[in-house]
A and B are shown apart, each in its own frame.
Chain A
Amino acid sequence: MSVRHFVSVFDIIGPIMVGPSSSHTAGAVRLGLVARAILGEQPAEALIELHGSFAHTGRGHGTDRALVAGLLGMKPADDRIRHSLELAAAAGMRIRFAEADLGQDAHPNSARLTLGANQRRVTVEGASIGGGMIRVTRIEGYDVLFTGEHDALIVVAEDRPGTIHTVTGLLLAHQINIAFSRVERRQRGGEAIMIFETDDPIPALIPETITDFYWVRWARHVPKVTD
């Protein structure tokens, strides 16, 4: 655990979680939850690729069950996590697991989740960095960085003037304060991904409204995954 400016008593006495490992289990549930939220619905199919320690000791730590539990919408303290593979099968979710080398820069506890449902498909890559904390590092091939410790609004849209203004204007109209924001694009005038981490929950109306703009490909609210 890295030393932050302030360590809360609930970082020490917590999180409440099902075992056996805060990084291999609780963090994995949170990665699954974030990926589910980015897809925007429960996935019908999932390819789960495990890297490093996740691949090597994941089974004994229940990392496979934890990731799937997150895809089912469970939180780290959910007693049903240990049964998640069976529950996913019962829900008709098709899941494949594979080992993958996500590169030298990837954290040892990393996973790539490729999810599909109806017409939607999304690839999310992230890591469990200790104590149940996570960071999401790639979405649809864009390099990103967010932690799930705040509510987030993610927008993928044409890279054109006024997009950020439009989004922040909507957030302002709902009195939602932005804690952090980040914009990444692959090339000028192409597509860009925007991530706004906020201090307050984001009403469903906001991503819906944004998605209605013709130059926006998709927008999602990713609720925070910490307590």
Chain B
Amino acid sequence: MFDSLAEMVAQAENRGLPLHEIVLQAEMAHSGKPRAQLRSRMKERLDVMRRAADEGVSRPVMSLSGISGGNAYRFWQWLADHEPLTGPILSRAVARAMAVNEVNAGMGCIVATPTAGSAGILPAVLLTLQEARGFDDEALVDALFTAAGIGVVIIRRASVSGAAGGCQAETGSAAAMAAAAATELLGGTPRQAAQAVAITLKNMLGLVCDPVAGLVEVPCVKRNAAGAAQCFIAVDLALAGVESVIPPDEVIDAMASIGRHMDERFKETALGGLAATPTGRRLAQIVLSANPFTVSVGSQSTG
């Protein structure tokens, strides 16, 4: 589709079109599928995102392992009668980001955006902007195409996998995708959307993937909250005309380079960082000691 944000932005500017339209047309050209079919497929994904976000704030959702959960609901309840430092919009995005990731950890249905571990950020940002600013679902579908276009460039130049590039590649990419989508949704130009990508990614470079017991929950749930916050900071700055000194594609390349040089302990192996703390190791022992692969189920099982 696109190998660089520069190419994507240039095409949008030359044709006087928003990024989402450039991305949608590229997908139509490749897949041979009509516009309406691609849009309805994206709308279906938006609906799944919304269900997950709603579920995670409306009841305490515990993870499959039992080591985490219920925090999105706790925070949502607290917001009802408190004034959060992060303000009414970001605080609700934070709650939704955690909500989706808790639903994920509880084996609920989500959309990987771009991965399951970073699935909270994009829905949180878009659904909260819809609530706060009244965008309709069609506008959100547009925004998802913008986000997807950014993800395509990141995958082609770097990676979106924690095992390959650390958490920067997962939550960093997700936040950057959301930042471009939100910038465009709020009236920003294609150039400003690309700048929001650069600013977001710069602020998340170097983030390691160090999940306790190798599971997608600690610290992933709160990293999704942080990703939403980084996204909002970058969107406001970009809309104000603030630019990154390092161009967006070079920031993505820097992320790729940092990922390549990152120690294996910090790339989803659960051997370093938070996973290697005394508490992380203790929790891992509890989770892994209940090894199921020697048990049987079904009528031969003796329990």
Chain A residues with a Cβ under 8 A of chain B: 1, 3, 6-22, 25-26, 45, 50, 53, 55-62, 64-65, 68, 77, 79, 81-82, 85-86, 88-89, 92-99, 130-132
- B125 interfacial by beta-carbon distance below 8 Å: no
- B27 interfacial by beta-carbon distance below 8 Å: yes
Known: A9-B1, A13-B148. 7 other contacts (CB 8 A): A7-B155, A8-B31, A11-B152, A12-B177, A21-B216, A57-B213, A92-B298
Whether the Cβ atoms of A9 and B298 lie closer than 8 Å is no
Question: Which residues on B sit within 8 Å (CB–CB) of A132?
Answer: 112
Whether the Cβ atoms of A18 and B109 lie closer than 8 Å is yes
- Minimum CB–CB distance for A14 against chain B, Å: 6
A14-B112, A16-B109 given as contacts; is B147 within 8 A of A97 (CB)? no
Segment of B79-87, B156-164, B186-194 in the binding face: B156-164
Question: Which residues on B sit within 8 Å (CB–CB) of A81?
Answer: 107
Question: Which residues on A sit within 8 Å (CB–CB) of B109?
Answer: 16-19, 77, 79
- B227 interfacial by beta-carbon distance below 8 Å: no
A12-B114, A82-B64 given as contacts; is B108 within 8 A of A19 (CB)? yes
Question: Which residues on A sit within 8 Å (CB–CB) of B45?
Answer: 10, 13-14, 16
Range, interface on chain B: 35 or more
Whether the Cβ atoms of B107 and A82 lie closer than 8 Å is yes
Pairs A–B under 8 Å by Cβ, sample size 11: A9-B1, A9-B23, A19-B109, A20-B63, A59-B292, A59-B293, A60-B213, A62-B107, A77-B109, A88-B298, A89-B298
- B287 interfacial by beta-carbon distance below 8 Å: yes
Whether the Cβ atoms of A9 and B145 lie closer than 8 Å is yes
Segment of B98-106, B197-205, B228-236 in the binding face: B98-106
Whether the Cβ atoms of A21 and B116 lie closer than 8 Å is yes
Chain B residues with a Cβ under 8 A of chain A: 1, 23-24, 27, 30-31, 38, 41-42, 44-45, 48, 63-65, 103-117, 119, 122, 144-145, 147-149, 151-152, 155-156, 159-161, 163-164, 177, 213-217, 270, 287-288, 290-301
A20-B63, A61-B216 given as contacts; is B152 within 8 A of A12 (CB)? yes
Question: Which residues on B sit within 8 Å (CB–CB) of A6?
Answer: 1, 30
Whether the Cβ atoms of A95 and B297 lie closer than 8 Å is yes
- Docked pose: A79 CA to B106 CA in angstroms: 11
Choice from A7, A50, A95, A130 contacting B161 with Cβ under 8 Å: A130
- Docked pose: A14 CA to B148 CA in angstroms: 10
Q: Which residue of A lies closest to B174 (CB)?
A: A12
Whether the Cβ atoms of A58 and B293 lie closer than 8 Å is yes
Whether the Cβ atoms of B287 and A19 lie closer than 8 Å is no
